[in-house]
Structure 1
Amino acid sequence: MTADLTSLASGDFVTVLSLAATAYQGHTNERPDPEVVVNALLQAEKAAKQQHLTYPFESLVGEWRLCFVTGTKKVRNQAGIVLGKGFYIPKLAPTYISFDTTPAVDETPSREGIGNSVQFGFVSLKLKGPAQYSEKKNFLAFDFLQMQISLFGRVIYSGQIRGGKTGAENFYTQPVAKLPFFAFFLVTQDLIAASGRGGGLALWIREN
């Protein structure tokens, strides 16, 4: 079932996550406790699985600021992963993720792309690469193959990493199990949430 982005706000977990997003942007001082946000993310993930919700890639396109993440820790002598404590991302290190689509040209099909950027004072790091999205599973596999480093707004390095052009050509033939990925379980007009390959959860917001 494709999710209606305007009808999901009825869940209590969406209310909590929306409040966290609003507070993070400074519109209110009522920031939910990290434990409450972690529980809301877990509820959202469970609801998406139970309701078999799907989200089109178009609903992800744009730039999103990382707001909240959980840590993970492996359980010794047991299978699985246990979530560590969650925390809000310090505003002194703004971190963004972006998604875009490259139009089809001649025999080359349309492609999805991903970008990631983080700012540390006067230093900024940007990564870009190809992505593959499965709407059936809300599953986005990706790989970062380009890197750019800037200092005081001036680019001091820009180049390919992890195989560059060769890596891009091989990306679409690699088994998805070997690639980094995000499994999205909540997408609204103002926020998105996903689990990563390591089992941690993350919340991004669209800045107003």
Structure 2
Amino acid sequence: MTVTNSATVTPQVLEAAASGAKRSAQQVTAALLDAERQTKVERRQFSPEALLGNWRLRFTAPKKPTYKAGKPQGSGFYMPGLAIASLCFSRDDNDQLTIQNQLQVGPVKLRFTGPAKFLPKKNLLAFDFVRLQVLVGSLTLINLPLRSKAAKAGDFVATSVAKLPFFSFFMAEEGYVAARGRSGGLALWVKK
């Protein structure tokens, strides 16, 4: 009987899933949970620069996967090729972080944009969507400001993270990143 160390198996599973090789949903979910646990144990910190760029959602486990009796529980699914969900993190002219979350089905794009802030001690990226756009190809059909939580509070920078949506990142590799969202789900994005 061969005993494998999850610390060595986890990167292999995530790299395979990120590169397009199919691993079972349970394997990928377990690898994400193991990576999250390892990051917490090692108290790894990432810089916001590691997150900059365009990322395509490859895999998600939305039902709050966790450990039960020491074993990973929960499952997820690969994003279908028909729907392309993506995140883009960048810096604006004032060197402030911004986020763009987009879902594309055929030529139709639903896009949310807004400011973001990164808390390095927790690898937490909090954000607030302030604009909604609907595009068909390069033609903008809808371009509306959103009345966001931070706008109601008066200032995004001063708004407590407890009042904002966020991603808690636990992997930030050159070709992929992984995080747990405020709702408890896990996600694996690959560099576009």
TM-score band by shorter chain is 0.7 to 0.9
Instruction: Indicate yes or no: 2:164 matched with 1:179.
Output: yes
Q: What are the superposed Cα offsets for residues 1-44 of structure 1, whole Å, 9 maximum, x if unpaired?
A: xxxxxxxxx73211101101112xxxxxx410000000000000
Q: Does 1:20 align with 2:17?
A: yes
Q: How does 1:160-171 map to 2 (within 5 A)?
A: 160-163=145-148, 166=151, 169-171=154-156
- Shift, 1:73, TM fit: 5.8
Whole-angstrom distance in 2 between the partners of 1:53 and 1:153? 40
Using the TM superposition, name which of 171-180 and 53-62 deviates more: 171-180
Tell me the amino acid that sits aligned with residue 34 of structure 2. Q
* TM-score relative to the length of structure 1: 0.80
- The residue matched to 1:171 in structure 2 has which SS? coil
- Conserved in 2, the CA contact under 8 Å of 1:72 and 1:83? no
**Aligned residues of 1:71 and 1:84 also touching (Cα < 8 A):** no
Residues 1:44 and 1:149: Cα distance change in structure 2 (over 3 Å): same
Check 1:201–1:83 CA distance in 2 against 1; reply closer, same or farther (3 A cut).
farther
Q: Report SS of the residue matched to 1:72.
A: coil
CA distance in 2, matches of 1:163, 1:196: 18
1:84, distance to aligned residue in structure 2 (A): 4.3
Aligned residues: 180
In 2: Cα distance, 1:165 partner to 1:139 partner: 17
The one of 122, 136, 139 equivalent to 1:137 is: 122
**What is the Cα deviation at residue 153 of structure 1?**
3.3
Q: Are 1:200 and 2:185 matched, yes or no?
A: yes
Off by >6 Å, runs of 4+ in structure 1: none
Q: Which letter does structure 2 place at the counterpart of 1:16? A: V
Contact 1:83 1:199 in 2 (8 A): no
Matched position secondary structure for 2:118: strand
Per-residue CA deviation, residues 70-118 of structure 1 (Å, 9 max, x unaligned), is 12169xxxxxxx96430001110111101111244xxxxx311111111
Q: Distance in 2 between matches of 1:120 and 1:20?
A: 22
- Identical aligned residues as a percent: 37
| Alignment deviations for residues 168-197 of structure 1 (CA, whole Å, 9 cap, x no partner) | 952122221011000000000000000011
Separation in 1 of the partners of 2:122 and 2:191?
23
Q: Which amino acid aligns with 1:39?
A: A
Unaligned runs of 5+ in 1: 1-9, 24-29, 75-81, 105-109
**Are 2:86 and 1:96 equivalent residues in the alignment?**
yes
Q: Secondary structure at the match of 1:170?
A: coil
Secondary structure, aligned partner of 1:11? helix
Measure, in 2, the Cα distance between the counterparts of 1:184 and 1:136. 11
